[in-house]
Amino acid sequence: MKSIEILLIEDNPGDVELTREALSSGKVFNTLQVIMDGEAALDYLFQRGKYSGSRLPDIILLDLNLPKVSGREILRALKEDDKRKTIPIIILSSSEAAFDIRDSYRLHANCFVSKPVQLKDFMRVVQTIRSFWIDIVQLSTSPGTADD
């Protein structure tokens, strides 16, 4: 079975651990990379500095409210780049504001999911994301490196 590379861009350590636990409870072979600020996320995704040569993810779980560079700016940069715009980006945000949802889709997010407050609901949401995006959806061939 193919391994799925998931990049979680999230600054809340509690949400990182919950997401890690929810993803690991499935039978999917995946690698979860975690980046906790927007600036480092852009360096990772554009393979700059200490991240040169890093593998591009198959899926990105992106929080909107990040330190240094916002999730919107990351979304915009990726969707404007020919080598990265096909990577599915799932907005996973605590926001339920109509503006955030509308703006995310305007910037070409693949979907917007509001983080539930309750632990069991949060776990269910992440497991549903995993089930849909990994078990059901046909992902593009892994983008690998920027030179592909």
Domain ranges, ordered by start, for the chain: 4-136
Which is more confident, 66 or 148? Answer: 66
What's the CATH class of domain 4-136?
alpha beta
Question: Over the stretch 116-128, which tens digit does the pLDDT of each residue have?
Answer: 777 778 778 877 8
The confidence band for 2, taking pLDDT boundaries of 50, 70 and 90, is: low
- Rg (C-alpha) for the chain, rounded Å, is 14
pLDDT reported for residue 5: 87
Return the number of other C-beta atoms located less than 10 Å from residue 77's C-beta: 18
Element at 102 (helix H, strand E) = helix 98-106
Q: Sign of torsion, CA 70 104 119 132?
A: negative
% the chain with pLDDT above 70: 89
Strands (E) across the chain are located at 4-9, 30-35, 59-62, 89-93, 111-114
pLDDT at 53 over 50: yes
